[in-house]
Homo-oligomer: A and B are copies of this chain.
Amino acid sequence: MSYLPLEQSELLNDLTALLRIPSISTLPERRGDVARAAEFVRGQLQAAGLETCRLIEGEGNPLVYGEWLGAPGKPTLLAYGHYDVQPPDPLDEWKSPPFEPEIRGDDIFARGASDDKGQTLILIKAAAGLMKRDGRLPVNVRFLIEGEEEVGGEHISRFIASGSELARADAVVICDTEMFAPELPTICVGLRGIVYGELLVAGAAQDLHSGVYGGAAPNPIQALAEILCALKDRDGRIQIPGFTDRVRPPTPEEYEAWSRLPFDENEYREKEVGARELVGEPGYSVFERTWARPTLEVHGIRGGFTGEGAKTVIPARALAKISMRLVGDQKPAEASAQFQAAVERACPRGVTAEWKAIHSGEPSLIDPANPFIRSSAEAMEQVFGKPTVYIRSGGSIPIVGLFDKHLGIPSVLMGFGLPDDKIHAPNEKLHLPNFFRGIEAIARYFEIVGRG
């Protein structure tokens, strides 16, 4: 790299080593790998020249901490990322194994390449490059890298809520989002919140023969289908009373900015989504539907016999994993309660339906006029040579809401993923030119913030 004294081959070695660790936080049997990934990240912070690099243990997966506070009078940035990843299934759809990183063309393919190991390393390597070049950083930086982002981030939530000195900063910088399009510098100023849980429907005391009891016994799968259909109509309108009351529409400035984004809906449908037709609430654009409207999605469903062949059973139970994405002023606890009440009303006779919330996060919106945001836009423009666009993301990074709530500081979401990175899906990848340019952009951001 010309801007920083870093070798691409060494950067790739470190990226590959981190991607090899199957640190899937949702699977209890991967606890050892999660610990290995934490230790690897700690080593990276140490090697970058940061100080007091250590694991913060507690209930759950360790936080990784490192700091450089040698710029008195300058702002302090809290650099956040996560070293845990989503499960890789369905495994048979991966072209190369999810934990054996493979470079094909300009991309590196592995689970976590984009979300968020690659982007976490961008933050660390930016500091490493500046330290190597200058022997110091232009700003104060604290790194706080967690290992539970994909399972609700309980540990870091408690840590932030506890008011620890180690989280004291003027702004957060996060690389965990994507650029709107290749080569288009992008800052994300809005995230949806989330409530995620399980809905368990129970009928008879045990599985029953569908010939003998079919016509009299309740069927929990059918009942679950009825509940799902009662909660959302065929056009995608959520039918939970009160649910959308706190939804705030985007500002006129946002509508105007979004209208200028390069976007071909047909290409998006065909190449990104890969579906014959897009769906969702009538009367809203794709940007509104995915960034500024709440959703209700079933992530998984299970019940009865689904093996090869035939089994004529009426199952005793059926289960669905469900989330709601929240926007505007929606509150996770309130949304969860509204959902539960709607489920109770929709539950057919003969069965019971039990809702168990697993995790949640507040939606968040950041003011584009904030000076830390403006500095990041400047850094991005220097590296990519184009004006930075402001977008929202439909995804949820609940920690952003907590930084706002408990620390009162803005989060700067500088994303280097691309729309076709397939995060959470088979064949996740990271565009390597973005990896290298991301490192430079973050280094420049540190310099601009340090310039004051």
Contact = CB atoms under 8 A, between A and B. Distances in A.
Interface of A: 25-28, 86-87, 89-90, 93, 150-152, 178, 192, 194, 196, 203-219, 221-222, 224-226, 228-229, 232, 234, 236, 272-281, 284, 286, 289-290, 293, 295, 297-315, 318-321, 323, 325, 348-352, 358-359, 393-396, 419, 422-427
Given A278-B217, A349-B279, A212 B302 contact: no
B290 A301 contact: no
Nearest to A274: B205
A165 B224 CA distance: 51
A214 B310 contact: no
A206 B310 contact: no
B87 A307 contact: yes
Contacts of A298: 219, 221-222, 225, 303-304
A122 to B, nearest CB: 19
Nearest to A425: B207
A281 B214 CA distance: 11
B225 A423 contact: no
Contacts of A212: 178, 290, 393-395, 419, 423
B301 A303 contact: yes
A275 B87 CA distance: 36
Contacts of A313: 86, 299-300, 424-425
A425 B303 contact: no
B225 A194 contact: no
A450 B197 CA distance: 66
Closest 10 CB pairs of A and B: A205-B274, A211-B395, A300-B304, A26-B309, A215-B289, A225-B225, A302-B306, A214-B295, A300-B306, A300-B305
Nearest to A318: B301
Contacts of A216: 273, 278-280, 286, 289-290
B234 A276 contact: no
5 contacts: A192-B211, A204-B273, A207-B425, A301-B306, A310-B358
Given A216-B290, A320-B221, A211 B306 contact: no
A26 B310 contact: yes
A229 B228 CA distance: 10
Chain B CB count within 10 A is highest, among A272, A312, A321, for A312
B229 A275 contact: no
A426 B207 contact: yes
Given A87-B311, A211-B394, 8 more contacts: A26-B309, A27-B308, A210-B299, A212-B394, A216-B273, A219-B298, A221-B301, A313-B425
Given A90-B207, A151-B310, A426-B206, A214 B325 contact: yes
B275 A299 contact: no
B309 A27 contact: yes
B312 A215 contact: no
Nearest to A395: B211
Contacts of A299: 210, 221, 304-305, 310-315
Given A273-B208, A300-B306, A312-B194, A226 B215 contact: no
Contacts of A319: 306
A221 B210 CA distance: 23
A273 B192 contact: no
A311 B204 CA distance: 29
B350 A277 contact: yes
Contact of A321 (B151, B279, B305, B349): B305
Given A211-B396, A290-B216, A422-B206, A152 B277 contact: no
Contacts of A359: 310
Contact of A207 (B207, B221, B236, B424): B424
A282 B321 CA distance: 32
A290 B426 contact: no
A356 to B, nearest CB: 11
Given A203-B275, A311-B424, A222 B228 contact: yes
A188 to B, nearest CB: 11
